[in-house]
Amino acid sequence: MIAPRAILAEPDWSEVFKSSPLAEVEAANVRCREVASTEWRRIVPVLEVTAGIGEVDHATVKDLCVCVARIDQAERDLSERGLMVTAERGTVKNGAATIAGQYRTQLARYIRELGLSPSSRSAIAPPETGEESSDIWD
Round to whole Å and give the CA distance between 113 and 110.
5
6-24 burial code (b ≥16 CB/10 A, e <16) = eebeebebeebbeeeeeee
What is the number of domains present in the chain? 1
What pLDDT is attached to residue 50?
Answer: 84
pLDDT-above-90 percentage for the chain: 68
Question: Considering the domain boundaries, does residue 124 fall inside one?
Answer: no
Which pTM value belongs to this model?
0.82
Report the run of H or E that residue 90 belongs to, with start and end: strand 90-93
* Closest among 2, 74, 5, 10 to 43, alpha carbons compared: 10
CA distance to 33, 56, 59, per residue, from 16 (Å)? 8, 19, 12
Question: Considering the domain boundaries, does residue 5 fall inside one?
Answer: no
What pLDDT is attached to residue 3?
Answer: 47
Average model confidence (pLDDT) for the chain?
Answer: 88
What pLDDT is attached to residue 81?
Answer: 94
- Per-residue pLDDT of 50-59, as tens digits, reads 888 889 999 9
Distant-in-sequence, close-in-space partners of 67: CB < 8 Å, separation ≥ 6:
103, 104, 106, 107, 110
For residue 18, give its domain range: 14-118
Question: Considering the domain boundaries, does residue 23 fall inside one?
Answer: yes
Phi and psi (nearest 5°) for 93? Answer: -65, 135
Instruction: Out of 5-19, 20-34, 117-131, give the one with best mean pLDDT.
Output: 20-34
3-class SS at 84? strand
- Per-residue pLDDT of 76-130, as tens digits, reads 999 999 999 998 989 999 999 999 999 999 999 999 999 888 887 776 666 666 6
Round to whole Å and give the CA distance between 100 and 86.
19
